[in-house]
Amino acid sequence: MKKVCACVLFAIILLVGCGDNAGMQNLYSAEFEITRTDSETDFFLAETWDAGITPVYQPLSDSFSMAEDTLYFVVRTEGMPASVYGVSLAGQGRSPQQILLLEDGSIDTVAQAKGADGEKILVLAGKDEEQAPFLEAYTIEGCQLWRSFYETQGETALRLAQDGGGYFYVMYAEEVLLFDGDGICEGSISCPGKSYIDLCAAGGIVYVSYHDGDTGKTLLTRLQQ
């Protein structure tokens, strides 16, 4: 539990940024407090540093993906094309590197996934210049693999994940769209409550949380193909 919380805090600190330089500088030591469910309090010391992501790059705070030792994030400045950057978490002194530049649209969310041959790929959900939604895949080096258009009533793709079978799930406020490994939309899963909150994949299984309109509670469910 401590390790999970530390990783989450570490990712948040990297996204927020602490300095004005693009390089990784100013190593910090910060003490964090965790109150467990049994009411006991634990402390741990975490070393953090400014990864140079903000304020220079202005990432979308809800559109990033952490995979192994690399954090991928989307940069979308008003009036500018959208880009995906990657920053290594393996050590200091490494500035974010641009992975790809999308000149004909915008990116809503990004996730690292596995391609048909098991290779690592980046998958994006976004819109083209005509505001048509699409799902798109790139190699880790930024070479386009495929782009697939689809229809949805949702305005913005909020989350993107892949299950153990290679299927992609794109979450909107009121529906989750299901895609095969080639990006072809196979259907949708309407929210059983008021609206979806979040979506993630763990152990090859995709989970989604949502607001239940009847009870007012936040519920968690598993999506299966």
pLDDT of residue 96: 84
DSSP state of 215: T
Domain 58-223 CATH assignment equals 2.120.10.30: yes
For 117-134, the pLDDT digits (tens) are 899 999 999 999 999 999
pLDDT of residue 73: 86
Mean pLDDT of 2-21: 42
Question: Which residue ranges make up each domain of the chain?
Answer: 1-49, 58-223
For 148-196, the pLDDT digits (tens) are 999 998 889 999 999 999 999 999 999 999 999 999 999 999 998 999 9
Mean pLDDT of 4-31: 43
Beta bridge partners of 31: 45
Q: Under a CB-based contact definition with an 8 Å cutoff, are residues 172 and 159 in contact?
A: no
Q: Which two tokens stand for residue 86?
A: 């990657």
